[in-house]
A and B are shown apart, each in its own frame.
Chain A
Amino acid sequence: MKKPEDIEHILEVIVDIASDFLKNEIGVEVQKTNQKSECSSYFRLKPYTALMSISGSFSMNVTFSFDTALIEQVYRVYCHELEIEDNERLEHIDETASDMINIVIGNSTSKLAHDGTVVQISVPIVINEASSLSIRDVNFLTTTLYTEFGDMMITAMPNSCDYGEEGERE
């Protein structure tokens, strides 16, 4: 799993399922997407970021990084029937981000585990109010999903993987 097309395929599957989740579960349409590959030691984050590790027949980290307005819209719709106390709100916004990455990556696994091997996914980690991650010698591929409530960046960070040239395309 070191070929660039594999990484692109993985991200494509995840982006498709994330777009479907936003549309079908939240009622938010993805207006356009933009893909960018980068090799950097500096990874910029949006205000809400959920991170998950995938291991098994392939190994990588995936992050979902949300603009505040978008994750708040996801939270409003996702939790609309629940009674939530004021002091639980922030915790539940974190859990909404966490649930979303869990559902999207979990739903992607049957398509990603193309050789039939079981792929393990970690418990999601939510990173709040961090503006960046410092990483060493990592190539990552990011697709940004644009919606009327703001953007969401989905980034695949393969472990020990070289692929592609830095670039951007729509």
Chain B
Amino acid sequence: MNDVFWLTLSAALAVGIPALATAWAQSKIGSSVAATLAEKPELSTTAILMIAIPETMVVLGFVVALVIMLQGGGG
């Protein structure tokens, strides 16, 4: 296996695993938020924030993946 393979795999994992984690978190938050909004529609702002919060994980994963690709010579 050459370096390009490992670099690419690392970058993919760096963004892929947080993406799965974000998706899992959002699925849990999303269903709770839907139930909450049915009873209290005035909480929609909080709901939007709650759904957007886990996305930080995938953003940071993306940055790490980018650094791996660029620093490792893949970019």
> Is B a genuine binding partner of A?
no
